Chain A
Amino acid sequence: MLLHLLCIRGHTTLSFFARYTPADTARTRPGAARILRNAVFGTSFAAVTACAQSPTNIFDPAGTPARSAFGLSMLVLSITLVIFLIVAGLLLYALIRFRHRETDSNREPAQIYGSNQIELSWTVIPILIVVTLFLTTTRVILVTEAIPKPASAMDVTVIGHQFWWEYSYPKLGVVTANELHVPISEPESPTPTYLTMSSADVSHSFWVPRLAGKMDLIPNRVNTMWIDPHETGLYLGQCAQYCGTQHAKMLLRVYAQSPQDFAAWIEQQSKPAQQNFPGNPAATEGQAVFMKNACINCHTVKGSVATGRFGPDLTHLATRDTIASGPVPNTPENLRKWIEDPNSLKPGSLMPAMHLNDHDLDVITAYLSQLH
């Protein structure tokens, strides 16, 4: 068993200097090592995944950074499992074999004070394990953090706020909030998304486990990371750095779309907001109420007088599936409840209750529900 593992480590260290690109996935590695690794670790891995199906399982990677972390995880888990079995086995054996028995004589056992050879051996062997682990880890750090950014990459700026996410696509002129849309990245023609991250207030952390490990968003500092979902779908996650009262409900939603769907989404999102609502007097009135209230101090509705930056951009609010940064489905009822008192859905939210009357609440909800 140990010999097999040494073989794997040998292989991975040898390929240490191999050049990797974002499109290079664990799939391109020789299959034998992976099969063996899965066999070694299969049982406990199965135990973890069988007890719970989770959309945020780090052992179910769907992008390159998550996949290379997963590969490393399996190697580390295998090595530690073997160490555990050996050491715990020896301990258990010693505890049973050398327990005091009733039939024992009263003499003390032989006193042994130590042995330099033995000390040396259990110093050198761990050092060898550490060196191999270190080299393998370094390789994965480099293929994730130090690879050149491909020309086909897309840029998104992510700004963390208490307690929501602001996304802007600087080259595409789109600003949105809480629901990140990215194109999928095919291994043949990689289109990874590079996230340039900072924070408007306190530290946050971007963690979508199936796509990549986390990266902190720290005020007065710019961090970067990249994701490249291989399949279309919705990837969930949430803020992973304690950021205040509603840290728990600062959820992440990443929509990975086919290139066509993504292009259509971008085109739709780059339009200014709808300004006229013929045949919908409620929405028209709601628009007027919205523009007359303090809403516009914090929210932007592109093409209107509302240019606030403190809260999420609402230009295309109705196209989002959720409000309140993820935890609440975007339905007119929830929207109305949210505007009436955000604390009822998300206690500690920084949006104040505006104390609007029922009529104003109805019409503003009607207006916002039309912002497709």
Chain B
Amino acid sequence: MTTTPVLEAIDETLETQGQPPVNVIYEWLTTVDHKKIGLMYIVYALLFLVVGGFEAILMRIQLAIPNNHFVSPQVFNQLFTMHGTTMVFFMGMPILFGMGNYLVPLMIGARDMAFPRLNAFSFWISAFAGILLYYSYIGGSGLYAAGSAPDVGWFAYAPLTSKVFSPGHSTDYWTLAVLLSGVGSIGTALNIVTTILCMRCKGMKMSRMPLLPWLYLVMSGLVFVAVSPLTAAQVMLTLDRYLGSHFFDTQAGGSAILWMHFFWIFGHPEVYVLVLPAFAFANEIIPVFSRKAMFGYPAMVAASVSIGFISLSVWAHHMFTAGLGPAGNTFFVFATMVISVPTGIKIFNWLATIWGGKIIFAPPMMFMVAFLFQFLIAGLTGIMLSAAPFNWQLSASYFVVAHFHYVLVGAIVFSLFGAFYYWYPKVTGKMMDETLAKWHFWLFLIGFHLTFDFMHVPGILGMPRRIYTYEAGRGWDTLNFIVGIGAIFQAVGTLILVYNMIHSYYKGKEAGHDPWDAWTLEWSVPSPPPSYNFAIEPTVNSRRPLWDLKHPEDPDSDYE
């Protein structure tokens, strides 16, 4: 691995003798390199993170005081619809796919994804979908005439989406954007599954694969099963709206419940589609910064796979208030509670990994520590919500909003930020500024807790989600004001991150191959990695090939 490879020599020759002139924009537009596509996914998703975050800020200003007139109800309804749709479909999915795209081939010792052109296609169709959604602001004629974005909520319950209640085209923009992003997601999922199953390097049995590819394998499997019904439902909805079918048209005998089933058989596995990559980052970062091997690797794999399966049977806990009856409710209570067992196993294994280590609190690990505590709390409020009678009170209230933001922000975004700090040196060859990273961490942490800790309470005090205003005297005023303050902290923190990424790209210290003294294959190649990743296909003998290289006297391969 350390010998000078032929391909590197060719690269150098090209550099010294001058490459054929290539237009940079043309190169990025036509690239099929998994790393470039991964980066484009990430940059595109960060753009939508800023847009979706801006929408959130506007909502929090509106709700900061009772009877506020900052935005009209129409605009508010568009804001939460666009915020939810953007963050799930055009921020969460793409950014996690982007990370997977970049990391999976590097971690399994492959030179690219299995289907590079499909990879490019999936990215561009997802990017197009996001732009299509936002084009509705200009082109969509909706309930409130031209220039109206979708306003049916991110789960777009029937029959509010039917032609009668949502005339105009804003809902069609939503439907088509989600449908197209679904096509892109399924393409990338297919690619990741094939890559992991077929393109692992020599010696990397499934049981020696790092946990990140394992979790991406489960995640991609879930995408197949979960996104397909959603895509089908979008087709059915479009048929309802334009060709007179009646799947969800309750006025003609259609079923509103059917849409709920379609949406949540997507919607709940989707939570795991988003959170499994967050676990994946934790599985890589926590051991490295504790200086210990992952505790209970087989248990972690088993837990991840069982989370994947169980998550397919919990969807109707989103429908406890739809009147499914005691038998249906009881089943979904059980399935939902059971999923806490493998999830708990994960937390305990992380705890055991830290135990007895030498923990280094570098920025990636700081975010992981916050991730662990916040994910614990999110899981526990999840157990509260799984108890159906408690759920009858809490569902569709701000408690639920706080709960799933604890998962999406407290767990996923924190883990993702940790991953940024961890892999940024690999991607750019530069270290990120640590002082700025600490500012980012503390501001975001304070903001997160101000916003989402306090957001649970209005839900307990009877505040439903998706209301554009409320009257004074319900006990919600102060709490909503605090929640709004927290949002500002988070925004500032995120801007510091963006600044840090740009600043460090130009001014950062050189990172070298392996700045964290880590153990997986991506740290064996230069930073940034050359287009072919590995000059010579690596051979591995254990789950931590670089540990084996660094500790020839005591390699992992002796214990597996």
Contacts and interface: CB of A to CB of B under 8 A. Distances in A.
Interface string B412-443: 00000000000000000000000000000000
A67 B392 CA distance: 12
A354 B432 CA distance: 64
Interface in A36-69: 48, 51-59, 65-66, 68-69
B208 to A, nearest CB: 13
Contacts of A221: 250, 255-257, 323
Given A54-B475, A123-B345, A134-B337, A216 B462 contact: no
A179 to B, nearest CB: 16
Contacts of B554: 111
B462 A56 contact: yes
Nearest to B300: A114
Given A51-B478, A215-B392, A134 B256 contact: no
Given A241-B157, A245-B143, A134 B333 contact: yes
Contacts of A236: 462, 474
A245 to B, nearest CB: 5
A111 B294 CA distance: 9
Contacts of B234: none
Given A84-B380, A119-B299, A214-B396, A348 B321 contact: no
A310 B549 CA distance: 77
A51 B355 contact: no
Nearest to A79: B383
B372 interface: yes
A246 B325 contact: no
Interface in B245-283: 250-251, 253-257
B117 interface: no
Interface stretch (A19-27, A86-94, A150-158, A253-261): A86-94
A99 B356 CA distance: 9
A145 interface: yes
A215 B76 CA distance: 25
Nearest to B388: A141
Contact of B73 (A56, A145, A245): A245
A114 B476 CA distance: 48
Given A94-B354, A327-B471, A113 B297 contact: yes
B506 interface: no
A80 interface: yes
B1 interface: no
Nearest to A250: B467
Given A57-B462, A146-B326, A205-B321, A73 B143 contact: no
Given A126-B341, A138-B333, A244-B160, 20 more contacts: A54-B475, A55-B474, A73-B384, A108-B292, A109-B291, A109-B357, A112-B352, A113-B297, A113-B560, A122-B348, A133-B387, A137-B386, A214-B395, A218-B250, A218-B323, A221-B256, A221-B257, A242-B465, A245-B151, A248-B470
30 contacts: A51-B475, A52-B457, A57-B475, A73-B387, A98-B356, A99-B359, A99-B361, A101-B358, A109-B357, A111-B559, A112-B293, A114-B297, A118-B352, A133-B383, A133-B387, A140-B388, A141-B329, A141-B333, A162-B165, A212-B392, A214-B396, A218-B256, A220-B254, A221-B257, A241-B321, A242-B153, A244-B77, A244-B165, A347-B73, A348-B73
Interface of B: 72-74, 77, 143, 151, 153, 157-160, 165, 250-251, 253-257, 290-293, 295-299, 321-323, 325-326, 329-330, 333-334, 337-338, 340-341, 344-345, 347-349, 351-352, 354-361, 369, 372-373, 376-377, 380-381, 383-384, 386-397, 457, 460-471, 473-476, 478-479, 551, 554, 556, 559-560
Name the 8 nearest CB pairs between A and B, nearest first: A213-B392, A56-B462, A52-B475, A54-B475, A223-B323, A248-B467, A114-B296, A219-B250
Interface of A: 48, 51-59, 65-66, 68-69, 72-73, 76-77, 79-80, 83-84, 87-88, 90-91, 94-95, 98-101, 104, 108-115, 118-119, 122-123, 126-127, 130, 133-134, 136-138, 140-142, 144-146, 162, 201-203, 205, 207, 209, 212-216, 218-221, 223-224, 236-248, 327, 347-348
